[in-house]
Amino acid sequence: MERLQKVIAHAGIASRRKAEELIQEGKVRVNGKVIKELGVKVSPHDKIEVQGVPVEREEPVYFVLYKPRGVISSVSDDKGRKVVTDFFPFITERIYPVGRLDYDTSGLLIMTNDGDFANNLMHPTSEVEKVYVAKVKGIPSREAIRSLERGIKLEDGKTAPAKIKMISMEKTKQTAIFEVIIHEGRNRQVRRMFEAIGHPVMKLKRERYGFLTLQGLQAGEARELTPHEVKQLRVMATKPKK
């Protein structure tokens, strides 16, 4: 037996908090009966409807994908471009990405059908480290890099402190490569950070998400997360912040 809101979240319909709101608003039925109280538990045999639509209950699945460049972090695209779910042709569950990497960014992306798990990882209070390697145009000054490390003002607010280390630079080509560690998940954040100091990103790859890496994977390949890895990510996402 599981709590109703957890089942709805696992089905990918809404976050657990949103599922609780739907229940309290009388938009959820169990075996034809409207449920408005939180804490109700349901069995695998109970028929659940959310706003009149039957909930298809799936076993939660979790994958790590090495997303190539030129792929949309979505389950579909109205322009017919390749999307991340295209790399899972034999998966029957309705999986989707946890967060996103933009079209021209490659690297590590978690895929799941567990809405509660995904929302915990993407919540603003989640401070899971994300490690990127960025090739930028020009060679930023030490002071410019310090401004990124302290936090820089963007149109949606000041970024949290970041860890930035130069890996290499080519003076003749006027390019530099940096390792960037952040824990926020703003849209195109790393690109916007370097744009703000006048050094646009030419190439970007996410190499690590928390403790997860791309080891053993080629671009376009995926592997299933182990139960222990899923448990570790849950703990990281819900751990009280200092």
Tell me the pLDDT tens digit for each residue of 139-176.
999 999 999 999 999 999 999 999 999 999 999 999 99
Query: CB count, 10 Å around CB of 39?
Result: 9
pLDDT in tens, 99-120: 999 999 999 999 998 887 888 8
Quickly state the pLDDT bin for 241 (edges 50, 70, 90): low
Question: Do 191 and 231 share a structural domain?
Answer: no
Rounded average pLDDT over 135-142: 97
Known catalytic membership, residue 46: no
Question: Do 163 and 203 share a structural domain?
Answer: yes
Question: Do 113 and 140 share a structural domain?
Answer: no
Question: Do 76 and 104 share a structural domain?
Answer: yes
Phi and psi dihedrals of 191, rounded to 5?
-60, -45
How many structural domains is the chain composed of? 3
- From CA 65, how far away is CA 96, in angstroms rounded? 11
pLDDT in tens, 47-79: 999 999 998 877 889 999 999 999 999 998 999
21: Cβ–Cβ under 8 A, 6 or more apart, which residues?
A: none
Q: Which amino acid is at 142?
A: R
Query: CB count, 10 Å around CB of 207?
Result: 17
Question: Do 135 and 120 share a structural domain?
Answer: no
Question: Do 72 and 190 share a structural domain?
Answer: no
Mean predicted lDDT score pLDDT of the chain: 92
Question: Do 174 and 71 share a structural domain?
Answer: no
Question: Do 149 and 135 share a structural domain?
Answer: yes
Tell me what pLDDT residue 242 has.
54
Give the end of a domain, one of 33, 54, 75: 54
β-strands 157-158, 62-67 pairing: unpaired
pLDDT in tens, 76-97: 899 999 999 999 999 988 899 9
Give the end of a domain, one of 11, 37, 54: 54
Tell me what pLDDT residue 9 has.
82
CATH number of the domain that residue 37 is part of:
3.10.290.10
The β-bridge partners of 177 are: 135, 168
Range of the domain at 186: 130-209
pLDDT in tens, 5-46: 988 887 778 888 899 999 999 999 999 999 999 989 998 789
166: Cβ–Cβ under 8 A, 6 or more apart, which residues?
A: 145, 176, 177, 178
β-strands 163-170, 175-182 pairing: antiparallel
Buried/exposed 179-195: b ≥16 CB within 10 Å, e otherwise = ebebeebeebbbbbbbe
CA distances from 32 to 39, 52, 85, 90, 180 (A): 18, 10, 33, 33, 52
3-state helix, strand and coil shares in percent for the chain, rounded to the nearest 5: 25, 30, 45
The β-bridge partners of 67 are: 107
Tell me what pLDDT residue 194 has.
98
* Residue spans of alpha helices (H) in the chain: 4-10, 16-24, 115-122, 142-150, 189-196, 227-238
Tell me what pLDDT residue 60 has.
87
Q: Which of 46, 86, 102, 104 is catalytic?
A: 102
Question: Do 192 and 155 share a structural domain?
Answer: yes
Tell me what pLDDT residue 116 has.
79
Tell me what pLDDT residue 238 has.
80
CATH number of the domain that residue 121 is part of:
3.30.70.580
The more confidently predicted of residues 195 and 39 is 195
Quickly state the pLDDT bin for 185 (edges 50, 70, 90): confident
CATH number of the domain that residue 140 is part of:
3.30.70.1560
Question: Do 217 and 120 share a structural domain?
Answer: yes
Q: Which amino acid is at 126?
A: S
Tokens read off for 167:
């890996």
